[in-house]
Amino acid sequence: MRHRLSIQIGPVAFRIGSAWKAPLDALAGLYADYPKPADGLTDFTVRLEPEKPWRRFIRPSVAIRGDYCLPDATPMSLAHGLLAAEMGMNLQMALGQKNYLLLHAATVEKDGRALIMTGESGAGKSTLAALLGERGWRLMGDEFALLDLDSGLLMPFPRAVSLKNGAIRVMEAEVDPARFGPRLEATPKGEIRHMRPNADALARMGEGARPALILFPRFGEDAAIRAVGAAEVFMRLTQASTNYVALGRRGFDALTGLIAANPALAIDYPDTDTALGQIGGFWRELAA
Amino acid sequence: MAGPVYIADCESAVQSVALDGLSVLFHAPSGMTHIVAAPAPEILEALRIGPAGAGELLARLRAWYDFEGDEAADAIDARLAELEAAGLVRRA
């Protein structure tokens, strides 16, 4: 590939190659403070290539390729190259990660204990994790919770937070502008802007945490809290995992162990302040 | 006429964890996970003694648990059919 970049995110090392300079320049700026893979070895490779050779110049169109590919993935506009790189990294993790049980969830940590937040797209887990990460919690990740199959610890995966639509304004009011990537308009997911996690999240990206609470947030409803039964949690987390089936019994053991050891709650919230208040209350009760 | 005789995989092939009144089973031979309610785990447990038809199975279960009423035999037949469809029991 003409242009290359290697990035360490938590326990995972990526190498990203691109036929174009611009997406990697944007990625290098966004990931400026991340370490390079220590031994030069990488876990996953992502390639951003022209869909056809001539498409590098004429109406450039980015195809996402790598160790693992989706054969019918739709090529993306070069203007969204940064999003293509992010989606490529997610895809390699989702299809290729064998060392951890992957949950599509955001995680934050406080006092050595981790909160797992999972839910459908739009539930607000990224926004809540990003906000908590600026308000006394450590952001461990906004997209993937990595559950260590042996120790049961959650490992951080603090990639750049992918903020969508209304969440962009919420975080722009909270965070130094230098930590944001370019604004990506009219992507398949709407408006997107990436935000680099703060220095604490990056400095501690090798530090795992014991899970303490599983939360299913849902945005846009009147405030409500309900306990979620273990069997329902199991079903929802198998649906939220990209590699549960591939891990076989190791995944089963890790997931049942996580659920048996931790309470689970579902919250509805009309605004982020309400959710932060609910979460603060849970944490005080857990500490008591 | 005697009905079919059923057989279940040994305990090491089916890992079971109780969660919230239900049981989640990992069936190693197929790699599939199942969520089941009582009396499915009890049927699997009783079949591990050895292959059995529905009548023999009901007798084993009655020795361990209180199964009241005449509907128990119908319930066992229905659960056996479900477990067979799920691949958790098979005909001997």
pLDDT, one tens digit per residue, over A140-175 is 999 999 999 999 999 999 999 999 988 999 999 999
Residues A131 and A153 in one domain: yes
Q: Which of B20, B24, B26 sits opposite A229 (nearest CB)?
A: B20
| Res B71: pLDDT | 81
Min Cα distance B3 → chain A (Å) is 34
Q: According to the model, what pLDDT value does residue A65 have? A: 74
Domain boundary among A96, A131, A157: A96
By C-alpha distance, the chain A residue nearest B13 is: A249
Probe site for chain B from A234, A244, A262 (most B CB atoms < 10 A)? A234
User: In terms of domains, do A271 and A238 share one?
Assistant: yes
A227 and B CB contact within 8 Å: no
Mean pLDDT in residue range A67-95: 77
Question: Which residue on chain A is closest to B20 by alpha carbon?
Answer: A230
Whether residue A261 lies within 8 A of chain B, CB to CB, comes out as no
Domain end marker among A96, A122, A137: A96
A223 in the same domain as A118: yes
Least confident piece of the model among A1-10, A110-119, A262-271: A1-10
Question: Do both A265 and A154 map to the same domain?
Answer: yes
* Nearest neighbour of B35 by CB, restricted to A231, A253, A259: A231
Which pLDDT does position A96 carry in this prediction? Answer: 86
Domains held by chain A: number: 2
Shared domain for A71 and A207, answered yes or no, is no
**Ranges A51-60, A209-218, A273-282: which has the least confidence:** A51-60
Nearest to A256 among B24, B28, B31 (CB): B24
A214, A256, A259: best to mutate for the B interface, most B CBs within 10 A: A256
Which residue of B33, B34, B36 to mutate against A (max A Cβ within 10 Å)? B33
Are residues B19 and A238, on separate chains, in Cβ contact within 8 Å? no
Query: Going from the N-terminus, what domains does chain B have, and what CATH number goes with each?
Result: 5-91 (3.90.930)
Of A42, A74, A96, which marks where a domain is finished?
A96
ipTM: 0.83
DSSP codes joined into one string, chain A: --EEEEEEETTEEEEEEESSHHHHHHHHHHTTTSPPPTTS--SEEEEEEESSGGGGTSS-EEEEEESS--TTPPPEEGGGHHHHHHHHHHHHHHHH--SEEEEEEEEEEETTEEEEEE-STTSSHHHHHHHHHHTTSEEEESSEEEEETTT-PEEP--PPEEEETHHHHHHHTTS-GGGEEEEEEEETTEEEEEE---HHHHHTTT--BEEEEEEEEEETS--EEEE--HHHHHHHHHHHBSSHHHHTHHHHHHHHHHHHHS-EEEEEESSHHHHHHHHHHHHHHHH-
- The tens digit of pLDDT for each residue in A238-285 reads 999 999 999 999 999 999 999 999 999 999 999 999 999 999 999 999
Same domain, A85 and A159: no
Percent of chain A scored above 90 by pLDDT? Answer: 69
CB contact under 8 A, B28 and A248: yes
pTM (2 decimals)?
0.88
Do A66 and A107 sit in the same domain of this protein? Answer: no
Task: Check whether residue A146 and residue A280 sit in a common domain.
Answer: yes
* Statement to judge: residues A110 and A232 lie in one domain: yes
Chain B contact for A69 (CB, 8 A cutoff)? no
Give, for all 92 residues of chain B, the pLDDT tens digit: 578 999 999 989 999 999 988 999 999 999 999 999 989 999 999 999 999 999 999 999 999 988 777 788 888 999 999 999 999 999 98
Q: Are residues A23 and A58 in the same domain?
A: yes
A235 and A118: one domain? yes
Would you place residue A106 in the very low, low, confident or very high pLDDT band (cuts 50, 70, 90)? very high
Provide the residue range defining the domain that includes A75: 3-96
A76 and A130 co-located in one domain: no
